[in-house]
Structure 1
Amino acid sequence: MKVLHLISGGEKGGSRKHVITLLEQFSSEEVTLAVFQEGQLSQEARESGIRTECFRQSSRYDLSVLNKLASFIQKEGFDVLHTHGPRANLFGIYLKKKTGIRWVTTVHSDPSLDFVKSGLKGKIFTTLSMYAVKQMDGYFAVSERFKQNLIKLGINGEKIQTVYNGIQFTNEKATPLPRSEWGLTDQDFVMAMVARLHPIKGHTIVFDAMTAFAEEERPHLLLVGDGPIEEELMNEVKRRQLDRHVHFLGFRSDVDHIYAASDLALLASFSESFPLALLEAANQHVPIITTDVGGVGELIHHGQTGWIVPTKDAKAYEEALREAMNRGDQLKEMGDQLYDFASARFSLEQLAEAHRSVYVKLTDI
């Protein structure tokens, strides 16, 4: 069995981490990664020993790579094409028709929301993306809720396999970064939010919640990630006079050490499947406040290992944050309980075995 994973290559967030950790569970004879651009993803993949091929495009609209990919698939004798993301999904339509390869996808985000705030071009790409998503032979849903979302799009439920994301849980916590790096002390209440700077991630909901606190009691927020609305978010922080309490850290490769230095982890997305960032927080024994998206309810026990609040509800987020701060002496115990539950259920072993079984089933058809 040989599987070709196809992704754009510019990813820096959860989908990048997901692809690398998944492919690490297979031998180099079984899986190959194909990208359209060199970047953090291809570099980390090669460092992990994953065979990685770049089919470079002159622009994202350069379709000359399609025939090169089709020839590569036929020459190498791949049995399954596994696409990740809107561009790879669109190209998968041609590749399946050209080669007859079995085709699966992992939907890392809601395809109807991938191109928000992109104007007319975004509407066109959304239509194309929604069409592509309905053409596959199989689907991986990273939560039961996300499986139901796919069914609502008209996809046959028998083609959808629920596969929970997984990470390599460690026995020991990471060494916390010194808070002095951000001008903070051990007495400050520190929250970490690891998310692309993108409208769908809901950063302004957290900002709104923070403005409800008097300055002397306001918690500090470490924002990890970069993205298209970085300048817009910085302006929002200034407008709300949160400059002293919101710290933009950019893209970081030491997220575990940042979580280890934090009292609380945050997610405020309007839509998600199953965020790896939350598992990374759980690995560092850090309780979580999250919006009710994707499969978070399968990880967080509300009030015991974290808090789940409605999406786009700044007041509910503020109330959860106040409760977390008031229970500061209990947060360590909550984080320990979260680690115990997550490490037992969301392992890399279950992630790899579920994928392997679907690949084998498809190749036996």
Structure 2
Amino acid sequence: MKVLHIITGLDVGGAEQQLRLLLRHCDVRSAVVTLTEPGPLAEAIRADGVPVTALRMSGNRDIGALPRLTALIRAGEYDVVHTHLYRACVYGRIAARLAGVRTIVATEHSLGASSIEGRPLSLGTRALYRATERLGHGTFAVSATVARRLAEWGVPARRIHLVPNGIEPGRFRFDAGARARTRDRLGIPQDAYVVGGVGRQVPGKRFDAVVRAVADNPGTHLLLAGDGIERVPLLRLVHSLGLQNRALVVDPTVHGVPDLLSAMDLFVTASEDEAFGLAALEALAAGLPVRYVTCPAVEDLPPEAAPGARQVAPDQLAAAVREEHLAGPRRLPPPQAVEHYHIARTAELVTARYLEAHHRGGLFRRRRTPVPAAVPRPAGPAAPAAQEAAAAPPAAAQQAPAPAAEDTPATPAQK
């Protein structure tokens, strides 16, 4: 089976890293197309043996990329096209439909309550999402929270399937030697209490709130790993608060996330609008106590699945840091949640969906009774019944052959 993954870009982000993991664990022939420049992950994926093609679109409205993408898909004779992130889903589903691909699916990585991929949702964004969603055959929601949001948008429940993100737990296992080496390399005292965070430095992640929480707790140190448009403002904030001697903002591609997590004592995520919470899950795998504002990966499971993680109100971050600092550093055994979200399990679910689609001639055929989901759902609320919404597709989408009536595959949704 040949699968083409289409993604907006290959910068270092959660969706991009998740794609690389999926490629390494799915037992199918794969290729990748990035709509923008190759990005830092392109070479890593190529080194894993997966070809990567960059379309180098000039922007969201570069319609000229559509015929090129369609031709590329048609020439590859792919059995499945799997899209990731908003722009890739819009262009990828239209192109795959024009190319006559048998099965078109999407993974919804970043649909928040009021934003998608860190950007505010607009009526236009939502309308285009729904219009192109109907050109595919199913959407993989990375959490039950995302599944509910898709249903609230009017995506039919029969086309929403829970396929959680996954991690390689062993990669993040605490390493005392790495802790000492990383602290020494970064100039962090070995006995310092280090509060940390990892992720794209964009406004929605609210790393500024973590900086302020550490500023309110003298004696604590801060270690943030990531990059993005908020990096320079964060550095300015560090200086304005006088934290130059106890706060660092570093590049995770240089130092490595596992080593950085080993160097931390407490992991804090301040985002108020998450789709999953991959960084928090990696921190749990490293044995760190985690304090979060929003984290569906944890919230969608029973409390005993991640006893080291605790939700805090946005205005209580400083108090949470203070409480943990007073308790002193501790390392916890990786909780049940870590194995629940093992990437091997995620890859099995995705591969099973591919094979089911291939043998049935389309992922989820339209029926009066929804097809039962074969994907096991974690304990917690399941995706609610969806309302069928009738959004008119944009001009480009109208040219694409629509799925047939009652017996034809339905559609996916994605960013």
TM-score under structure 1 length normalisation: 0.86
In 1, Cα distance between equivalents of 2:212 and 2:132: 35
2:176 paired with 1:181: no
- Distance apart, 1:340 and its partner CA: 4.1
**Which residue pairs with 1:33 in the alignment?**
32
Deviation digits for residues 322-349 of structure 1 (CA, Å, limit 9, x no counterpart): 22222225x22xx21xx14234312122
- The alpha-carbon distance between structure 1 residues 304 and 58, as it changes in their structure 2 partners (threshold 3 A), is closer
**Which residue pairs with 1:342 in the alignment?**
337
Specify every segment of 5 or more residues in structure 2 that has no aligned partner in the other structure, as ranges.
Answer: 363-415
Aligned residues: 350
In 2, Cα distance between equivalents of 1:350 and 1:259: 24
In 2, Cα distance between equivalents of 1:258 and 1:300: 28
- The alpha-carbon distance between structure 1 residues 266 and 19, as it changes in their structure 2 partners (threshold 3 A), is same
- Within 5 Å, give how 1:92-171 maps onto structure 2: 92-101=92-101, 102-110=103-111, 112-114=114-116, 123=122, 126-127=125-126, 130-131=129-130, 134-135=133-134, 136-170=136-170
- Distance apart, 1:300 and its partner CA: 8.5
- Within 5 Å, give how 1:186-265 maps onto structure 2: 186-213=190-217, 215=218, 217=219, 219-253=220-254, 254-265=256-267
**Which residue pairs with 2:373 in the alignment?**
none
User: Higher relative CO (CA 8 A, sep ≥ 6), structure 1 or 2?
Assistant: 2
After superposition, the CA RMSD in angstroms is 2.6
Residues 146 and 295, structure 1, Cα contact 8 Å, conserved in 2: no
- Distance apart, 1:31 and its partner CA: 1.8
2:9 paired with 1:9: yes
In 2, Cα distance between equivalents of 1:56 and 1:208: 38
Secondary structure at 1:149's aligned position in 2? helix
**Which residue pairs with 2:380 in the alignment?**
none
TM-score under structure 2 length normalisation: 0.77
Secondary structure at 1:109's aligned position in 2? coil
Q: Which amino acid aligns with 2:297?
A: G
Secondary structure at 1:178's aligned position in 2? helix
Secondary structure at 2:264's aligned position in 1? coil
Secondary structure at 1:277's aligned position in 2? helix
Deviation digits for residues 10-37 of structure 1 (CA, Å, limit 9, x no counterpart): 421111110000011134x522111132
User: Of residues 305, 308, 316 in structure 2, which corresponds to 1:305?
Assistant: 308
Secondary structure at 1:193's aligned position in 2? strand
- The alpha-carbon distance between structure 1 residues 362 and 323, as it changes in their structure 2 partners (threshold 3 A), is same
Q: Which amino acid aligns with 2:200?
A: R
User: Of residues 271, 289, 295 in structure 1, which corresponds to 2:273?
Assistant: 271
Residues 142 and 273, structure 1, Cα contact 8 Å, conserved in 2: yes
Deviation digits for residues 278-324 of structure 1 (CA, Å, limit 9, x no counterpart): 232223222211112322224694893122123xx12x212222222
- Distance apart, 1:220 and its partner CA: 1.1
Which deviates more from structure 2 when the two are superposed, residues 286-295 or residues 15-24? 286-295
In 1, Cα distance between equivalents of 2:133 and 2:22: 24
In 2, Cα distance between equivalents of 1:309 and 1:211: 18
2:351 paired with 1:356: yes
- Distance apart, 1:238 and its partner CA: 2.9
Which deviates more from structure 2 when the two are superposed, residues 350-359 or residues 104-113? 104-113
Residues 269 and 291, structure 2, Cα contact 8 Å, conserved in 1: yes
- Distance apart, 1:224 and its partner CA: 0.6
Which deviates more from structure 2 when the two are superposed, residues 244-253 or residues 66-75? 244-253
Aligned-pair identity in percent equals: 27
Q: Which amino acid aligns with 2:152?
A: K
- The alpha-carbon distance between structure 1 residues 14 and 300, as it changes in their structure 2 partners (threshold 3 A), is farther
**Which residue pairs with 2:88 in the alignment?**
88
- Distance apart, 1:251 and its partner CA: 4.1
Q: Which amino acid aligns with 1:280?
A: E
In 2, Cα distance between equivalents of 1:98 and 1:113: 29
Q: Which amino acid aligns with 2:98?
A: K
Residues 89 and 132, structure 1, Cα contact 8 Å, conserved in 2: no
In 1, Cα distance between equivalents of 2:132 and 2:226: 27
In 1, Cα distance between equivalents of 2:299 and 2:166: 16
- Distance apart, 1:157 and its partner CA: 1.7
Specify every segment of 5 or more residues in structure 1 that has no aligned partner in the other structure, as ranges.
Answer: none
In 2, Cα distance between equivalents of 1:298 and 1:116: 21
- The alpha-carbon distance between structure 1 residues 40 and 138, as it changes in their structure 2 partners (threshold 3 A), is same
Deviation digits for residues 58-85 of structure 1 (CA, Å, limit 9, x no counterpart): 5554333321221222222212211111
